[in-house]
């Protein structure tokens, strides 16, 4: 994983986790395709073509699909001077190229970044976020999102999510095929096809847990590096508190629409309080994030 040349503080823990996650995801991918090739030997060219084609499509187009799905619309400096000005200041601090800038017409206060690299990066803020935050708070949030771009963990999350998507598709196809062969229980191919959903389900579950573990750490890493870059951890803490508090006032229907994209957002649409839900959450708790920022603030205040 090549480290970007920016002034964002490097995070070896994040780099190690990204490499480990990609290795394990790749291993799961090889196992899944290997099982399919062993079970459906005569169809191996089709399996390889479909799997390779889906991987390429996911890598090249998933960021655009995600941005479109979340309603991101690119804006010019004339259309959004405050937002562009804040990102310009962060880019100058970080010594990194300016990403594309977008706004999403949503009252849910949030922000996200997409892109495979700095060259293709896009940073988006919702109208709900822009309306609620003070300039220093907004810069803290945008610095957090730019950290994801600088550390390239957005690209890793995009690629890592592919296996879960593939496993889900294979499960549905295999279930359909298994049902069509239900009357031939002694058919070896029919039995094998019935086993594919089980293998796919296990692969999907492992992939889901791996991406969730990485996602929680990368959010803490982005908070930390953004606070160090701007030198104002209190502004980021204020933004976190304000955005999390405002979520309770957003209609549940709007939050449900945003929930599928939680892994990309600055703050999840729904926060998890139960221990099991926390294990499956895409973000650390608000308390964990505020505690970390409080420690950074105390460190920066020391002579």
The binding site for Zn(2+) comprises 144, 148, 219
Residues 6+ apart with CB under 8 A from 71: 104, 105, 106
204, containing H or E segment: helix 188-230
* Chain position carrying tokens 């600088």: 150
CA distance 238 to 134: 10
- Annotated active-site positions, please? 145
> What residues are designated binding site?
144, 148, 219
The per-residue b/e assignment along 216-233, b for 16 or more CB within 10 angstroms, e otherwise, is: bbbbbbbbbbbbbbbebb
Q: Residue 164 burial (CB < 10 Å; 0-12/13-18/19+)?
A: buried
Beta bridge partners of 104: 72, 126
CA distance 115 to 52: 20
């Amino acid at each position: 994983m090549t480290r970007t040349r920016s002034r964002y503080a490097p995070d070896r823990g994040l780099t190690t986790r990204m490499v480990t996650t990609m290795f394990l995801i790749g291993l799961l991918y090889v196992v899944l395709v290997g099982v399919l090739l062993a079970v459906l030997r005569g169809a191996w060219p089709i399996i390889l073509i479909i799997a390779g084609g889906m991987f390429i499509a996911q890598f090249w187009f998933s960021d655009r699909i995600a941005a479109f799905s979340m309603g991101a619309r690119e804006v010019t400096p004339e259309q959004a001077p405050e937002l562009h000005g804040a990102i310009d200041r962060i880019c100058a601090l970080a010594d990194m190229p300016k990403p594309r800038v977008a706004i999403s017409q949503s009252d849910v206060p949030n922000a996200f970044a997409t892109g495979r690299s700095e060259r293709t990066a896009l940073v988006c803020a919702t109208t709900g976020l822009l309306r609620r935050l003070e300039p220093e708070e907004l810069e803290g949030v945008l610095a957090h999102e730019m950290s994801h771009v600088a550390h390239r963990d957005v690209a890793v999350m995009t690629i890592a999510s592919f296996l879960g998507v593939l496993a889900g598709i294979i499960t549905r196809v295999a279930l359909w095929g298994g049902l069509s062969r239900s009357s031939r229980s002694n058919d070896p191919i029919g039995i094998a096809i019935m086993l594919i959903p089980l293998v796919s389900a296990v692969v999907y579950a492992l992939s889901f847990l791996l991406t969730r573990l990485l996602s929680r750490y990368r959010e803490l890493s982005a908070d930390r590096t953004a606070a160090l870059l701007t030198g104002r951890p209190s502004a980021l803490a204020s933004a976190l508190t304000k955005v999390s508090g405002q979520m309770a006032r957003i209609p549940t229907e709007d939050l449900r629409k945003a929930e599928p994209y939680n892994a990309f957002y600055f703050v999840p649409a729904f926060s998890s309080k139960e221990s099991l839900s926390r294990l499956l959450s895409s973000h650390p708790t608000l308390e964990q994030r505020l505690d970390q920022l409080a420690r950074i603030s105390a460190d920066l205040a020391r002579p």
